[in-house]
Structure 1
Amino acid sequence: MSTNHEEKIRQIILTHINVGRIKSRESTTLEFKESFNMRNVAMYAKIMASYANNCGGYIIFGVKDRPRNLVGLSNDKFDNLDQAKFTEAINALFAPALEWECGMLQVEIAERDKAGELGSVQKKIGWIYTVEAEQKPVVAQKENEGEKITSGDVFYRYRARTQKIRYAEMAMIIESRIVKEWKRMFRLLEVIRKSETANIGIVNYTNGRVTTPYGIDVELDRKLVAKVLRRAKFIKEGVFNEIEGAPVIKVTGNIDLAEEVPVPEGDPDITHPYIQKQLAEKLDINVQVLYALIWYYKMKGEKKYHLEITTSKSGAVHKFSEFSFRYLQDQLKKFRETPKVLDKILDEYKSYKRKMIKS
């Protein structure tokens, strides 16, 4: 758990407390909940999305709102929170993926017993902190009637309220995105300027287009670009003398040309739009069948298929690309002709899982 978060929460709770009653009020960055329950995940996700679209914030569990009494958590539901399932649930409702942390702490407070005697008691507090989103706005991508969430909704945190965003705040988010894009462009132009040459072209590996400084653009087939790069010799920047005279391509950083399928670049929520549940629904298969296919074809860890996005210190969400959907769709079509092959894969996966449990 982050020490800074614990210090912040202790400050909220203990600096302003008078016999169990907290003086701190709910705010732009603070919401109190008396208890935690996974059945209310849509409510939490809505608040978290509003924080992400503003400047981040806390949900603190174990505090009544009216009056603001520190009652503590009375069960282990927050202790036993499955962070992977929670992450999957909130990111099924909102995109881009929400980045969050959580933790617990024990606090000692003064409290009167039934006889009116003043004593000290230990209270258990849980917290979830949502980070301000790098890519705004965070948008609802699924409806939820209970929380009145409609696909396309954008929620924003106003003082102590979570509500649909107003024009002024949305305009501010759009303007901020434009500024960020310009800054990225200026950084790119600065790199070009420092290269000390006007004879620079840009190769877009996604579509094979070569943009030249002479006003002539060339577009090559992506597979041809991959083949050219694969057959070329590469050296790292600054070590030309090791292979003096050999025709080479200079690269800065790492390059991986093991596959001809281009690895999608950009926003993970665009390049890899599906969590496992959504991918299973789109393929019209059981989630367990999907797990077996992902395992059998070794898709996890291959960027053209899969990305693991860390959302908290111990939580992550698995996202899959459009290419992974098309690939599995093709395999499933083949299985219709040879269903025994799929049965064999499922049996092998079950056997693998049993071995993993035993070990």
Structure 2
Amino acid sequence: MSKRNITDEEIGLIKAMLKRGMRNDAAHFHFNRQDRLISPGRIAQIKSGKYGGAIASADDVALDRFLTEFWQRSGASPKAPMSSEQSLIELFENDGANGWRLKGGETDRVECKRSFRIAPEQRFAEVVKAIAGMANNKGGIILFGVVDRTLAVEGLTDDEFEKIDPAMINRILAGALDPIPHVTKSSVMVGGKAVGILTVEPHASAPVIALKMMGQDVKEGCVYFRYVGETRTIKPGELRQIIAMREQRAVADFSRRMVGVATGTQATLDLESGQVQGNTGAFVIDQTLLPQLQFIREGDFSEVRGAPALRLVGDVQPIDKEAREKARIIRDSVTPDSVIRNFLSGEKVADALQYIYAQAHCQRGWLPLWYYVKGAGLATDALVEDLRSLVATHPSSRDNVVHRLRNIQAAYKVHPGRPSVILKRLVAGEVMAAGSSTENMALSKAIMGLPDGFQAAVSMKSVVLEMLDKTSAGSAVRSAIYRAACRLDEILYR
């Protein structure tokens, strides 16, 4: 096997992992080794079909065998139970008179619930606790329609699990846990009875922490861990293990980057001199600009998705050391003001992707998004995956962007009172203009309630821009204006 190439068999296995719902970083974990470092971008290329497109995906049997052997070689347990329908059915057995039951009982990766209820919130608290515990351990599955004491398969008695939108589950998790665990919903027929399944992936950025109280089961600030047959507050030993694993990943990532520097695929930046040095050349960033630089995530910034690249805004010329003092490179930062003004004025930007990533690094919660998504020309799933792996300055802002991309959260909101009256006038075709602070607040709230397909949305952009120009920074009216701009963004480009 080549030390730099992935075999056809491995490409087939990677395709099977991605087809099963594994994230790119989880698939990458199984094939990246110290003696053969693979770029995460290679997984993205396989997913898009740009690399190994003619190679067929491995079947479920081959993938299950590979995963089992992989974890046996590593001396650990699989991170999550197998997720094919056949492997799930094999968790159960028919013991004759007593019918179908769960064979192995509740473990550190399997929990049973007799029924599924998402409301009121307290009824779902036990499930949220179990999800947090599994995400902090090796992942797992929660089975609905299976009695936890007897392990008997009773099946779901209604269609609430089948009808529930996964976005609703994610919305609850987003408000209760940080970081947000990745959960997928499925179902299987066991002995003619429906069993609902929530599959929980182990979180790469554990520990997952509870953000608020939920009934008697979930307490704010607690870290839960899945032990054999129960989910409880984490013990010191397991918490130390999570911290140690994070440190190992950081060391591995550092080693990978150093290999890149040694082989010339990556360059180094001297923060004192401002020199960027690589095997093929060098350039200098003016020292007065170094403190102002905003560093952005590696990868996906070239014409080929997934290829490692450093993106600099400005003219960059290779120089030698003697010309260092003559060089001056200027980089303009992507600011919240530029994000909203470029949208409202309809100005095209050179790299729309950076206007999306910039929203993970600022505290403002509402900034136009879909205008830049269209400009970037990338699929929503790819953007979500990249954002979730991003080391964000403000994780909550990054999560807000993800929720909007997934349509879990939107700027749409109908306000009562005067904004409601103005909303009706706008829908009826009346033209409005910016006015006083009070008038601008009411008009901004009215714009938030505009329906999808509103025909005059384009003309409203100039009105919002005029209100923005007349409103001072830090004003509550300004926050309403930003959200109003986001609603126009949704109507025009989502």
TM range (shorter): 0.5 to 0.7
**Residue 37 of structure 1 is aligned with which of 88, 108, 117?**
117
Do the aligned partners of 1:294 and 1:300 also contact (CA within 8 Å) in 2? no
Equivalent in the alignment of 2:160: 77
Matching residue's letter, 2:400: F
Displacement of 1:156? 0.3
Please tell me whether residue 28 in structure 1 is matched to residue 108 in structure 2: yes
Task: Return the offset for 1:90.
Answer: 1.2
Give the number of the structure whose residues are more often helix, by fraction: 2
Aligned equivalent of 2:146, options 59, 63, 78: 63
Matched, 1:170 2:239: yes
1:87 to 141, 152, 170: 170
Q: Which runs of 5+ in 2 are unaligned?
A: 1-18, 21-59, 61-81, 278-284, 297-310, 318-328, 330-348, 388-396, 405-435, 456-490
RMSD: 4.6
Cα deviation, 1:44-82, whole Å, max 9, x if unaligned, reads: 111011001110111111111222221111100001111
Matched-pair contact (CA < 8 Å) for 2:223–2:234:
yes
Question: Which of 357, 362, 375 is equivalent to 1:263?
Answer: 357
Letter paired with 1:140: A
Match of 1:330 in 2: none
Counterpart selection for 1:100 from 166, 178, 183: 183
Give the residue type in structure 2 aligned to 1:263.
Y
Residues 352, 373 of structure 2: 8 Å contact kept: no
Aligned to 1:342: 444
Q: Looking at both structures, which has the greater relative contact order when contacts are Cα pairs under 8 Å and sequence separation is at least 6?
A: 1
> Aligned partners of 1:49, 1:318: CA distance in 2, in Å?
20
- Offset, 1:85: 1.1
The 1:318–1:168 alpha-carbon spacing in structure 2 relative to 1, beyond 3 Å, is: closer
Structure 1 residues 58, 18: CA separation in 2 closer, same or farther (over 3 Å shift)? farther
CA distance in 1 between counterparts of 2:86 and 2:127 reads: 23
> Does residue 53 of structure 1 match 2:136?
yes
State the distance in 2 between where 1:196 and 1:212 align: 13
Query: Would you say the 8 A contact 2:166–2:184 is kept in 1?
Result: no
* Residue 133 of structure 1 pairs with residue 198 of structure 2: no
Pairs within 5 Å for 1:113-262? 122-147=192-217, 149-195=218-264, 201-202=268-269, 210=274, 218-220=287-289, 222=292, 229-232=312-315, 257=351
Q: CA deviation at 1:231?
A: 3.6
Taking only the aligned residue pairs, the percentage that are identical comes to 20
Alpha-carbon shift at residue 87 of structure 1 (Å): 0.5
**SS class of match (1:78):** helix
Classify 1:225/1:66 alpha carbon distance in 2 versus 1 (closer, same or farther; 3 Å): closer
Q: Distance in 2 between matches of 1:10 and 1:124?
A: 11
- What TM-score does the superposition give when structure 1 sets the normalisation length? 0.62
Gap change, CA 1:301 and 1:180, over 3 Å in 2: farther
- Displacement of 1:351: 5.5
Alpha-carbon contact 2:355-2:372 (below 8 Å) kept: no
Matches within 5 A, 1:264-283: 264=358, 271=361
Report the TM-score, using the length of structure 2 for normalisation.
0.47
Read off the aligned partner of 1:14 and give its amino acid letter: E
- Spell out, residue by residue over 1:285-313, the C-alpha distance to the aligned partner (whole angstroms, 9 max, x if none): xxxxx8xx868x8577799xx974699xx
Paired position in structure 1 for 2:467: none
Assess, with a 3 A threshold, how the Cα gap between structure 1 residues 302 and 13 changes in structure 2: closer, same or farther: farther
Question: Aligned to 2:92, what secondary structure does the other structure show?
Answer: helix
Q: Compute the displacement of 1:350 (Å).
A: 5.8
Aligned residues: 276
Secondary structure of 1:70's aligned partner = coil
**1: CA distance, partners of 2:363 / 2:200:** 21
CA 194–222 in structure 1, closer or farther in 2 if over 3 Å, else same: same
Contact preservation (8 Å) 2:137, 2:202: yes
Q: Please state whether the residue corresponding to 2:135 is helix, strand or coil.
A: helix
Asked if 1 retains the 8 angstrom alpha-carbon contact of 2:94 and 2:100, the reply is no
User: Aligned-pair distance for 1:34?
Assistant: 0.8
Aligned-residue offset at 1:210: 3.7
Q: Provide Cα deviations, 1:114-155, integer angstroms capped at 9, x if missing partner.
A: xxxxxxxx21111111011111111112222331x2322100
Residues 229 and 196 (structure 1), Cα distance of their counterparts in 2 relative to 1, 3 Å cut: closer
- 1:126 aligned partner, one-letter code: G
Rounded Cα–Cα distance in structure 2 between residues aligned with 1:211 and 1:225: 15
1:11 pairs, out of 78, 90, 93, with 90
The answer for the alignment partner of 1:237 in structure 2 is: none
Unaligned ranges ≥5, structure 1: 109-121, 235-247, 249-254, 280-289, 312-316, 325-333
Deviations 1:95-128 (A, max 9, x none): 11111111112222xxxxxxxxxxxxx2111111
- Cα deviation for residue 336 of structure 1 reads 3.9
Q: Which moved more, 1:95-104 or 1:255-264?
A: 255-264
The residue type equivalent to 1:202 in the other structure is L
Aligned residues of 1:144 and 1:150 also touching (Cα < 8 A): yes
